[in-house]
């Protein structure tokens, strides 16, 4: 565990540093409050700190207040070291944002015990944040393919359409449907069908930009939102790249290689367009239907894209 110690008295600083290093800590030592703030507010700065109350530049309570104001992400456990032992001083230190305090001179065993308490609190916070992130991910992503789920991709699309009208930029929407996917399930079984869906999702993610959105729209349907893609020709080319990524090589499964192709409909939304989400989805669905009618394994533009 990394720990910062801030102490302006050189001998005390060296002794404290050696004590902590022997206890297994990775120590960053500074001699004034401003340097302590700089280190603690770095994105990957220490999350455990021992701060002397009296220091140049900024005192311990001022460091606590500044760190609490500037670093709003992961918690930093701050311990004040002080010879002040009145109730008023203790209250002032804790209200400044300190998590704990130690009265000088302190026992090394007590110091280690209080630091262990801080580590347990930080680990608890990390576990809670991980659990919250897992819950958020499960709520927004499809459990089979790990793509955005239908509700989330539609919510993001609606947000992009609103931003498009406000900022006068364009987006393109691609709706893809796997060809004859029922035959895959009937021939190889649903487990292989799931393998195919996962690999299709992986290939689709690999064929778009990092700031595009890809979601599982239905059973074997996928919706792609191409941000800042306004040219009809560009949108068509991007859809063709997705089609080739899926269909140019069979998908390897536990039951052997499975050939699969994708039909796609494309709709380009220009800055001046004010169509509601439902009409845009209806248009791109019509383009997909046209691709299916044209023999599958192809791309077709919606009416707005051909205009």
Alpha-carbon torsion, ordered 178, 184, 190, 192, to 10 deg: -90
Q: Are residues 197 and 113 in the same domain?
A: no
| Confidence grade of residue 306 (pLDDT, cut at 50, 70, 90) | very low
Same domain? For 154 and 134 the reply is no
Residue 118 domain boundaries: 2-138
Question: CA–CA separation, 102 vs 29, rounded Å?
Answer: 18
What are the residues facing 49 on neighbouring strands?
Answer: 4, 78
Whether 225 contacts 173, CB under 8 Å: yes
CATH code at 65? 3.40.50.2300
CATH at 263: 3.30.70.270
> Global pTM?
0.73
Region for residue 146 given its phi and psi (left: phi exceeds 0; alpha: psi -120 to 50; beta: otherwise): left
User: pLDDT digit string (tens) for 268-284?
Assistant: 876 666 678 898 899 99
Look at residue 254 and tell me if it is in a domain: yes
Q: What is the pLDDT of residue 270?
A: 67
pLDDT value at residue 305: 47
Considering 94, 113, 138, which residue would you say is the last residue of a domain?
138
Q: How many domains does the chain have?
A: 2
**How far is it, in rounded angstroms, from Cα 160 to Cα 90?**
51
Is the same domain home to 100 and 224? no
Q: In this structure, are 125 and 155 located in the same domain?
A: no
Q: Is residue 287 part of a domain?
A: yes
Tens-place pLDDT, residues 182-232: 999 999 999 999 999 999 999 999 999 999 999 999 999 999 999 877 677
Structural domain includes residue 143: no
Q: How far apart are the first and last CA of the chain?
A: 62
Question: Kind of pairing, strands 48-52 and 2-6?
Answer: parallel
Domain membership flag for residue 182: yes
Judge if 162 and 228 occupy the same domain.
Answer: yes
> Which pLDDT value is given to residue 272?
60
Residues designated as active site: 220
Indicate whether 220 and 80 sit together in one domain: no
The verdict on 22 and 89 lying in the same domain is: yes
**Cβ–Cβ under 8 Å, residues 230 and 249:** no
Identify whether residues 180 and 255 lie together within a single domain.
yes
Last residue of a domain, one of 111, 138, 165: 138
- Residue range 281-291, pLDDT digits in tens: 999 999 999 99
Both structure tokens of 143: 């459990």
The answer for residues whose C-beta is within 8 angstroms of residue 180's C-beta and 6 or more apart is 296
Cα separation, 116 vs 107, whole angstroms: 14
User: Taking the alpha carbons of 144, 150, 151, 153 in that order, is the dihedral positive or negative?
Assistant: positive
Residues 74 and 175 in one domain: no
- Are 131 and 171 in the same domain? no
pLDDT at 273: 64
Q: What is the pLDDT of residues 126-177, one digit of tens each?
A: 999 999 999 999 999 999 999 999 999 999 999 988 887 777 777 899 999 9
Domain boundary among 93, 115, 138: 138
Least Cα distance to 184 among 129, 246, 130 occurs for 246
Output the average pLDDT for the chain. 91
If asked whether residues 293 and 167 sit together in one domain, one would say yes
Exposure string of 155-169, with b = 16+ CB inside 10 Å and e = fewer, is ebbeebbeebeeeeb
Residue 38: pLDDT band with limits 50, 70, 90: very high
How many whole angstroms separate alpha carbon 187 and alpha carbon 206? 28
Q: What is the pLDDT of residues 82-136, one digit of tens each?
A: 887 788 888 988 999 999 989 888 888 899 999 999 999 999 999 999 999 999 9
| 46-55, 70-79, 91-100, 202-211: segment of lowest average pLDDT | 70-79
Q: Are residues 132 and 154 in the same domain?
A: no
Residue 99: what pLDDT?
94
Pick from 5-14, 36-45, 158-167: least confident? 158-167
**Is 145 within the bounds of a domain?**
no
User: Is residue 144, in this structure, part of any structural domain at all?
Assistant: no
Question: Does 68 map to a domain?
Answer: yes
pLDDT at 179: 97
């Amino acid at each position: 565990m990394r720990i910062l110690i801030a102490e302006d008295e050189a001998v005390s600083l060296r002794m404290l540093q050696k004590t902590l290093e022997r206890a297994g800590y990775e120590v960053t030592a500074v001699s004034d409050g401003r340097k302590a703030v700089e280190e603690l507010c770095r994105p990957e700065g220490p999350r455990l700190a021992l701060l002397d109350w009296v220091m140049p530049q900024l005192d311990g309570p001022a460091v606590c207040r500044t760190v609490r104001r500037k670093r709003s992400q992961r918690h930093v456990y701050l311990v004040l070291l002080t010879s002040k032992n009145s109730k008023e001083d203790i209250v002032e230190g804790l209200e400044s944002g300190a998590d704990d305090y130690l009265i000088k001179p302190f026992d090394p065993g007590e110091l280690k015990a209080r630091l262990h308490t801080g580590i347990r609190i930080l680990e608890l916070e990390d576990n809670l944040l991980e659990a919250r992130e897992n819950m958020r991910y499960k709520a927004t992503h499809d459990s089979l393919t790990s793509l955005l789920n239908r509700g989330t991709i539609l919510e993001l699309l609606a947000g992009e359409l609103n931003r498009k009208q406000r900022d006068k930029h364009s987006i393109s929407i691609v709706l893809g449907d796997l060809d004859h996917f029922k035959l895959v399930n009937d021939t190889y079984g649903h487990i292989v069908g799931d393998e195919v869906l996962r690999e299709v999702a992986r290939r689709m993610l690999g064929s778009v930009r990092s700031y595009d959105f890809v979601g599982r729209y239905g059973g074997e349907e996928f919706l792609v939102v191409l941000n800042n893609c306004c040219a009809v020709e560009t949108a068509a080319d991007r859809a063709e790249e997705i089609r080739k990524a899926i269909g140019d090589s069979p998908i390897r499964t536990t039951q052997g290689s499975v050939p699969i192709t994708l039909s796609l409909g494309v709709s380009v939304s220009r800055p001046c367009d004010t169509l509601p989400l439902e009409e845009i989805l209806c248009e791109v669905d019509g383009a997909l239907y046209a691709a299916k009618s044209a023999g599958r394994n192809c791309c077709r533009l919606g009416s707005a894209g051909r205009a």
